[in-house]
Copies of this chain bind each other. A is one copy, B any other.
Amino acid sequence: MNGAESLVRTLVGGGVNVCFTNPGTSEMHFVAALDRVDGMRCVLGLFEGVVTGAADGYYRMADKPAATLLHLGPGLSNGLANIHNANKAMSGMVNIVGDHATYHRQYDAPLTSDIEGLARPLSHWVKTSPNAMSVAGDGALAIQAARQPPGKIATLILPADTAWNDSSGPANVPPPEKPAAPSSDAVDAAARVLRSGEPTLILLTGRAVRAEGLALAGKIAAKTGARLSAQGSNARTQRGRGRVSVERIPYVVDQALRVLAGLKHIILVGAKMPVAFFAYPNKPSKLYPEDCRGHVLARPEEDQIAALEMLCEAVDARRTPPPVTNDDKPRPAAGAITSEALGQSIGALLPENAIVADEAVTTGRGFFAPTKAAAPHDWLSNMGGSIGLGPPLATGAAVACPDRKVVGLQADGSAMYTVQALWTQAREGLDVTTVLFSNRVYQILKGELANVGAGNPGRKALDMLDIGHPDIDWVGLAKSLGVPGARVTDMEGFNRRFAEGLATPGPYLVEVVL
């Protein structure tokens, strides 16, 4: 058994059953080994940003890492932006990056580069396997690193000769680590704050925004009068009818300052003290009042559910009913297309147990409120701010959950970075309905140009924000990559075509002309 096969067997043995790939010559032995090992699903992406973004989406829904297969330094580089996003989402991922044979590196052939140097800024664990005998053991270490709570980026570099030389067979991977137990001191401190009667916010993310965490946090808030919020973005929020609904800290600084004004305490459950996404002249970086104190109930790597259970106990909220959403779901909107109308129709039509991959950016800022009482669903957001996550995220979520409908809420500017994901959705028959908001502009930047005080933009500046001229034909683009779709220009059309997409097995794209 060669090194490549020992690695594939180690991955499968370690519960890594999906590999998102964009291979090249140096990875051919790994590819060939796939036919000799059962239990590994391989999903091809035509660009590496699709591969790494899909691994992020997979982790969020499967709660275990996928592998990626990337071709030397440039292949890794193309995947880095979505590795950045996965890193911020605390998604685990095992990247396998092929390299030249160890003895070939000295010749500085065209594809030679410093792969470790490229990997390090965005990986928690990086190693170049020195020989075929080490590959399986290094693979096991990579899986362990990737599974370290709450989820880490592990990058294993695989020189070609370590793949083709003889190995000593697969390595065992120890069972996943459990998240660390929360500190009872932290629970006591949070309970004291909640009993103080001072204005307090419980700020949630990570596992705390899944249904179980929200129910516990909801009881605590109901019992103590504390406010409840999720971070500005969150890896996976479980929401909809019958669940405890939370707002998010707004992106716009002035709105966030208003929301957080007057607070004396923020209890952090997996979350960080809220700061502005960007700095702006004469606006603060910190979004909370000067005299507001943060209290860590549970760090990202700690067991947030256990911490909330302990806090629930400490404030005697166990029998308090959680304030779940029981509103009727909205009815589909009619007439002209607006952000509000879209939110309403999405809230009305979202199917039970859907997964929403949200990269709607400006168009989608108001979607949270009207989808609060939609059928129960999971909502995945972009955690790192690098646009071009949405289509891969939807792809990976659909691979992880073949029995659930995935809905991509997608801005046009962002979609263009990783549009190749549509092809993977078609190839794999993934059940993803993409709602593509076509405003033909980097709309967020128009606002930011004013926010940063850059003055009245002229023609040249505006041209750099305008992605029309030519307008992208999204239905044509999707069709060219094997995904059927339709264009809509009013809400009646949207309701019909969105429903059609939801009723169609496999991928579908609704282009919403704004």
Identify the A interface with B (CB < 8 A). Answer: 21, 23-26, 28-29, 31-32, 34-36, 42, 44, 46-47, 49, 73-75, 77-78, 80-81, 84-85, 88, 100-101, 103-104, 107-111, 113-114, 117-118, 120-122, 160-161, 164, 233, 272, 275-279, 281, 285-286, 383-386, 388, 413, 416-417, 419-420, 423, 426-427, 444-445, 448-449, 451-455, 457-461, 463-465, 467, 469-474, 476-477, 479-482
Contact = CB atoms under 8 A, between A and B. Distances in A.
A97 to B, nearest CB: 13
A272 to B, nearest CB: 7
Nearest to A25: B448
A169 B458 CA distance: 21
A426 B120 CA distance: 38
- Across the A-B interface, the 9 shortest Cβ-Cβ residue pairs: A470-B482, A35-B458, A74-B386, A77-B80, A32-B454, A101-B279, A104-B279, A476-B480, A477-B480
A149 B164 CA distance: 40
B34 A272 contact: no
B31 A461 contact: yes
Contacts of A233: 110
Contact of A448 (B28, B84, B455, B479): B28
Contact of A121 (B29, B104, B114): B114
| Copies of this chain, whole number | 2
Given A121-B117, A470-B426, A476-B476, A386 B445 contact: no
Nearest to A40: B460
A77 B100 CA distance: 21
A74 B452 contact: no
A440 to B, nearest CB: 11
Nearest to A79: B77
A104 B426 CA distance: 42
A100 B457 contact: no
